[in-house]
Amino acid sequence: AQIYFKNAIKIDPQYAPARNNYATTLTDINQAQMQLEIALDIDPNYADAHNSLALILHLVRSDLTRAEHHYLRALSLNPNHSEAHNNYALFLLGAVGEGGRQEADSIPKATVELHFKLALQANPNNANAAHNFAYFILASSCTPAPAAAATNDEYTFQEDQAMKLLLTALKINPNHAPAHETYALLEQRRGHIDIAAKHYLASIDANPNRVSSHCRYAQLLIRKNDFDTAKFHLEKALELRPDNAPRTLFLLAHIYENREAYNYSLELINSALVQLLSRTNNNIKNSKDDNITTQKDVSQTSERNDALSFTSSEKVSSSTAALNSITPQSSILALRNHIASDKSFALLPLDWHSTDMSFVYEWPTHDFLVAIRKQKVYLEALVHAGD
């Protein structure tokens, strides 16, 4: 296709659609942007080129002002541009965390929903829009669902609405990896573990390099105590994305802790903490959440910029004392209880070190940071006691 579009440009350098289509095949972002800007110089009213350029400005350049201008220009020129509605809805969502969750009060829900609906109205076969709308519904509801919410009519309606959209996406494209993954996540919420596992594997089969599917499937495997297979998928995720994976490192640390390899588990926790704080404090805006799909199956993500950068070393001595004051047989459980009841953590929201690691990638950033800090204290005490 790339050669075809390149030849078309040679035949007619003033043919804007050829330049737009050629740009969508390029891996060189600078070259792609140049082709799109030339296309808009040729035809300033070409909606497809405005949408394509907006994607680059949004997802790669983080030039949000210009990106929004081009999204809106595309929609003003073509109000029925399905992909532009889908992509602008994602733009409005803004930042999502590593696990795909954003604080609900920061999401302009009505406007986002409107653009997803318009995307599907313009093109009922837009699998990306159907999936993204479903994922938005789930991400903006309670994640994971508390027990009380299971009988809540509104929550059940939201799940059912999301399920219908996911089935639509998979009917349009049976190999839509993000839709399989989100379907699996929903079934996992409902406690249908075997169905969830089937769809996680379908997502990985459709896209073996899909990091989030490896990660979320590993969560499920840990719940089933299949630590060896979980370790394989987490290590694959790290191989694919080594520098932006604090939750993956956290789960690997959990596996090595289970094997009583406390020193290595602590190394992993420290790496996870460094990555998370670095990303949070620098407010990086170009990390990818594979559950959100645009035309090019990419999306911008960023972390909340909380002022949370402090270490837990000052707690080690008291935790070690607690460990040394109890019998070896009960030491691990007692230390966990000691840290969990520590007054310095009393107001923090996470029920730390739950045996259910099924939704680590859905924990809000602040709760996840609390979990890392408590796990760091716990492992430092164990390592110190073993020396």
* Nearest CA-CA partner of 321 in 245, 381, 377, 246: 381
d(Cα 17, Cα 42) in Å, to the nearest integer?
10
* Nearest CA-CA partner of 106 in 121, 124, 90, 93: 93
Question: What token pair was written down for 56?
Answer: 């680059």
**Residues 206, 3, 8, CA angle at the centre, nearest 5°?**
125
**What type of residue sits at position 136?**
F
d(Cα 245, Cα 249) in Å, to the nearest integer?
6
- The backbone region for 94, taken as left when phi is positive above 0, alpha when psi lies in -120 to 50, beta otherwise, is left
> Sign (positive/negative) of CA torsion 354, 356, 361, 364?
negative
d(Cα 57, Cα 103) in Å, to the nearest integer?
24
pLDDT in tens, the chain (387 residues): 788 898 899 999 999 999 999 999 998 999 999 999 999 999 999 999 999 999 999 999 989 999 999 999 999 999 999 999 999 999 998 733 333 334 444 557 889 999 999 999 999 999 999 999 999 988 777 544 444 444 566 667 888 999 999 999 999 999 999 999 999 999 998 889 999 999 999 999 999 999 999 999 999 999 888 999 999 999 999 999 988 789 999 999 999 988 889 999 999 999 998 888 877 665 434 434 445 555 544 322 222 222 111 222 333 333 334 334 433 434 445 545 544 444 443 333 334 344 455 677 777 777 788 888 888 888 888 888 766
Is residue 326 within 8 Å of 247, Cβ to Cβ? no
d(Cα 91, Cα 71) in Å, to the nearest integer?
9
Q: What is the DSSP letter of 100?
A: S
Is residue 75 within 8 Å of 87, Cβ to Cβ? no
Give the pLDDT score at 155. Answer: 66
Q: In whole angstroms, how far apart are CA 17 and each of 51, 78, 79, 80, 384?
A: 13, 15, 19, 18, 65
